[in-house]
Amino acid sequence: MSKIPNASEILLTFLRDQAGKESIATIYYQLFSCMTKDHLDKDMQWIKSLHDGTDDYFKETSKLDWFAIWHKQIRQTDYFRDCFKRINAPLLSEEERKEFKFLRHKVYKDGYNKRDEKGFFTEEYQRYLELSTKNKQEFLEDSINGKLDSILWNTIFIDKDNLLFQTFKRVFDEMDYYKI
């Protein structure tokens, strides 16, 4: 017996299959691929509840406007979550980098004593640790959630063939078939 697919697998498969025929499907596929499967599954369940008129808040009124309701909420909430770009942001100045290299070389020599007579780290060793920490924090993460939200919202806006709308309807048919 074959495995029952989940909503995110159905959506991504449909979009991947369409990507060869429609370039806008490639954009949708890439965007939805940025989401975790769990997040996408939960969202597809919610969108389907709008479509079916079973959402607790919108109830029957969402049957006609389900896609517009979902499209609008992309702008009003952080639709994408936990998407980051990594930025190389050196925190050490050139002088500190030289000092760090010198101290690292000194600290890793055999017999280096990092503790003073009271058992505390020496000032030199503390400085090495400070520079080492700064050196390891060279990469910063910058959220791109809002940018992805904007790209998705605008892609839907220019989707003259309503590809995503039609794809969602196909996904919902499959979800009904598999009773997801």
| Tens digit of each residue's pLDDT (9 = 90 or more) over 126-177 | 999 999 999 888 778 899 999 999 999 999 999 999 999 999 999 999 999 9
Residues 11 and 79 in one domain: yes
Name 103's Cβ contacts closer than 8 Å, sequence gap at least 6.
124, 127, 128, 131
pTM for this prediction: 0.75
Same domain, 150 and 130: no
Q: What is the pLDDT of residues 45-86, one digit of tens each?
A: 999 999 999 999 999 888 999 999 999 999 888 899 999 998
Specify the number of domains making up the chain. 2
* 1 in any annotated domain: no
Q: Are residues 100 and 30 in the same domain?
A: no
Same domain, 94 and 76: no
Q: Are residues 107 and 25 in the same domain?
A: no
Domain enclosing residue 133, as ranges: 90-137
Is 18 part of any domain? yes
Q: Is residue 2 part of a domain?
A: no
